[in-house]
């Protein structure tokens, strides 16, 4: 167990039929962003602010290449679930036996296609999480 190169990242998302689709081969970056904002509870009589913890939330930002391949391309999968609920699974170090597996449910809230004359057709997408993230191993 150690640090890892990003080339082995494993990511799946359920398509509109609920089937988990591995789309990581069409992605160049996956960011799982987790937040736990605090509420300020500072009263009079102090010089420093104090805070209490609130509720956790997360989203997943996907960046990669636009692909209309069969049932597994980024366009095919993500365009089909835009605005719909889905489930996801992330293996930051890959999906080999014993590797960390993170999973959860969410909504695909954005699917952006970018075409530039001098570059590959690109895509980005956001999955807004709902509920807790499960952590286990493959």
Partner 1 sequence: MSKYHGKGTQIYWDEFNLSGMSSSVTINRDAPTVDTSCFTATDTTAVVGMRSWNAAVSSFWDDTTTTGTHAIYQADFATADHTISIYPSGITAGMRGWGNYGVIQTSFNTTGPVAGAVTAEANHQGSGELEALWCLGGSTSTTAGSLTLASYNLAASLASTGMAGYLHVTALSGSPDVAFVIQDSPDDATFTDLVTFTNASAATSERVAVTGSSSQYFRVKYTLGASTTSCTFVVGFHR
Q: Of 134, 138, 136, 130, give the one whose Cα is nearest residue 109.
A: 130
As measured in angstroms, the least distance from the Cβ of 56 to partner 1 is 5
**Residue pair 22/68 in contact by the 8 Å Cβ criterion:** no
Nearest approach, Cβ of 94 to partner 1 (angstroms)? 10
Nearer to partner 1, 46 or 118 (CB): 46
Binding site for partner 1 (CB under 8 A): 1-7, 9, 27-38, 42, 46-53, 56, 90, 92-93, 99-100, 102, 135
Tell me whether residue 17 or residue 40 sits nearer to partner 1 (CB atom): 40
Q: Tokens 């990003």 belong to which residue? A: 6
The nearest distance, CB 54 to partner 1, in angstroms, is 8
Between 69 and 137, name the residue whose CB sits nearer to partner 1.
137
Largest CA distance in the chain: 64
Question: Which CB atom, from 57 or from 85, has the smaller least distance to partner 1?
Answer: 57
**Closest distance of CB 72 from partner 1, Å:** 17
The answer to whether the CB of 122 falls within 8 A of the CB of 8 is no
DSSP character at residue 84? S
β pairing state of 85-91 and 57-65: unpaired
């Amino acid at each position: 167990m150690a640090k890892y190169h990003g080339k082995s990242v494993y990511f799946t998302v359920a398509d509109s039929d609920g089937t988990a689709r591995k789309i990581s081969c069409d992605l160049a970056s996956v960011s799982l962003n987790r937040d736990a904002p605090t509420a300020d509870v500072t009263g009079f009589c102090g010089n420093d602010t104090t805070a209490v913890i609130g509720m956790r939330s997360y989203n997943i930002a996907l960046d990669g290449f636009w692909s209309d391949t069969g049932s597994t391309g980024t366009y095919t999968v993500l365009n089909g679930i835009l605005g719909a609920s889905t489930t996801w699974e992330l293996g930051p170090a890959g999906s080999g036996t014993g590797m960390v597996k993170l999973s959860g449910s969410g909504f695909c809230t954005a699917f952006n296609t970018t075409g530039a004359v001098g570059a590959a057709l690109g895509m980005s997408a956001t999955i807004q999480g709902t509920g807790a993230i499960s952590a286990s191993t493959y």
